[in-house]
């Protein structure tokens, strides 16, 4: 996180620094409040704090923790101190806050929609994250009430059609269990017979991809009836262009998990602003309209 903030500040300040703030008296101080313009879920407050720390001269304080649900107009926190520093830090802090809160907010919408349809079904993310921000975006998903699928290719096995063109399901699953014991060994299935094959082979997750809710329900039933399903040795995940309009139908089909790429690749930013109230020095009488 520290290096992500350092990189963002470097992007915004190299090589001459903040030209505009240089026009403000070096001794001016102020306080500014982060205000959400919309209802949403907050994420990225640690990045905003770190931005203040790295710029220096600014004290940051957040009332709203990651995961807090906020209403339009609600104050999230404050930056106070050197006015120059505060204005220099503003955009970088906001870029983190708005993007990550956007991810958390969209996640929360999916989570609620799914929970209403099926309280036993959970929403998780994918590896379709913004390059360089995976850790932060996956944390934002958790802030929004979602779970995290694999953090990386290094974390578990997920055999997709592109892999299975080369190796049959049973052989691939067997090899995966032998070489990478203890990990998730998931198989992407387009049809119920593949689910059956994956189950027999020992897969620990079956991913029902691009099925109808009805097909999904059949696959769920198949898994639940199987001895390995009964022994809680295998989970069912659904995926495939989920939208807020369609996800409830899939949830009702009974999978354990639904993955939604949009959480991280298409979440619009949450609109958060920084409202400044300058410290007018005592006795400073100048009329300001």
Output the smallest distance, CB 248 to its own copies, in A.
20
Contact segment (CB under 8 A) with its own copies among 4-12, 71-79, 111-119, 245-253 equals: 4-12
Residue 183 appears among annotated catalytic residues: no
Among 42, 50, 66, 149, binds its own copies (CB under 8 A): 149
Contact segment (CB under 8 A) with its own copies among 74-82, 168-176, 210-218, 247-255 equals: 168-176
Q: Is 181 in the site for its own copies (CB under 8 A)?
A: yes
Among 116, 171, 210, 224, binds its own copies (CB under 8 A): 171
Contact segment (CB under 8 A) with its own copies among 71-79, 107-115, 130-138, 243-251 equals: 130-138
User: How many residues are there in the chain?
Assistant: 289
Residue 160 appears among annotated catalytic residues: yes
Q: Which of residues 184-223 bind its own copies (CB under 8 A)?
A: 184, 186, 202, 204-205
**Per-position x/- string for 77-106, each x denoting binding to its own copies as judged by CB under 8 A, each - no binding:** ------x---xx-xxx-xxx-xx--x----
Q: Is 34 in the site for its own copies (CB under 8 A)?
A: no
Q: Which is nearer to its own copies, 46 or 217 (CB)?
A: 46
Q: Is 72 in the site for its own copies (CB under 8 A)?
A: no
Residue 209 appears among annotated catalytic residues: yes
Q: Which of residues 268-287 bind its own copies (CB under 8 A)?
A: 268-269, 274, 276, 278, 280, 282
What is the DSSP secondary-structure string of the chain? -HHHHHHHHHHHHTTT--TTGGGS-TT-EEEEEEEESS-EE---HHHHHHHHHHH-SEEEEESSPTT-EE-TT-EEEEEEEEHHHHHHHHHHHHHHHHHHHHHHHHHHHHHHHHHHH-TT-EEE--S---TT-HHHHHHHHHHTT-B---SSTTT-EEE-HHHHTTS-HHHHHHHHHHHSTTS-EEEEESSHHHHHHHHHHT-SEEEEES--HHHHHHHHHHHHHSHHHHTT--EEEEESS--TTTHHHHHHT--SEEE-THHHHSPPPP-EEEEEEE-PPTT------
Output the smallest distance, CB 117 to its own copies, in A.
18
* Angle at the Cα of 125 from the Cα atoms of 176 and 177, rounded to 5 degrees: 10
Contact 273, 32 (CB under 8 A): no
Output the smallest distance, CB 17 to its own copies, in A.
6
86: preceding bond cis by omega (within 30 degrees): no
Among 79, 110, 124, 250, binds its own copies (CB under 8 A): 124
Among 116, 230, 243, 246, binds its own copies (CB under 8 A): 230
Q: Which is nearer to its own copies, 71 or 182 (CB)?
A: 182
Catalytically annotated residues:
91, 128, 160, 188, 209
């Amino acid at each position: 996180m520290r290096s992500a903030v350092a990189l963002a500040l470097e992007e915004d300040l190299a090589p001459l620094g903040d030209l505009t703030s240089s026009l403000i008296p070096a001794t001016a101080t102020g306080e500014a409040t982060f205000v959400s313009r919309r209802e949403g879920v907050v994420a990225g407050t640690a990045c905003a704090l770190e931005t203040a720390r790295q710029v220096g001269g600014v004290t940051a304080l957040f009332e709203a923790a990651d995961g807090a649900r906020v209403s339009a107009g609600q104050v999230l926190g404050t930056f106070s101190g050197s006015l120059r520093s505060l204005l220099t830090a503003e955009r970088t802090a906001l870029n983190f806050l708005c993007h990550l809160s956007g991810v958390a907010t969209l996640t929360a919408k999916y989570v609620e929609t799914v929970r209403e349809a099926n309280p036993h079904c959970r929403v998780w993310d994918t590896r379709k994250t913004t390059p360089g921000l995976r850790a932060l975006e996956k944390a934002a998903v958790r802030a929004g009430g979602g779970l995290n699928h694999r953090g990386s290719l290094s974390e578990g096995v997920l055999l997709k059609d592109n892999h299975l063109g080369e190796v049959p399901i049973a052989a691939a699953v067997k090899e995966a269990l032998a070489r990478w014991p203890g990990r998730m060994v998931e198989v992407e299935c387009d049809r119920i017979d593949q689910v059956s094959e994956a189950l027999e082979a020992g897969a620990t997750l079956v991913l029902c991809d691009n099925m109808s809710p009805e097909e999904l329900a059949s696959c769920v039933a198949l898994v639940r009836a199987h001895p390995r399903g009964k022994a809680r040795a295998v989970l069912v995940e659904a995926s495939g262009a989920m939208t807020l309009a369609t996800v409830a139908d899939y949830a009702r089909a009974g999978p354990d998990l639904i993955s939604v790429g949009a959480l991280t690749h298409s979440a619009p930013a949450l609109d958060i602003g920084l409202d400044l109230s300058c410290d007018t020095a005592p006795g400073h009488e100048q009329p300001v309209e």
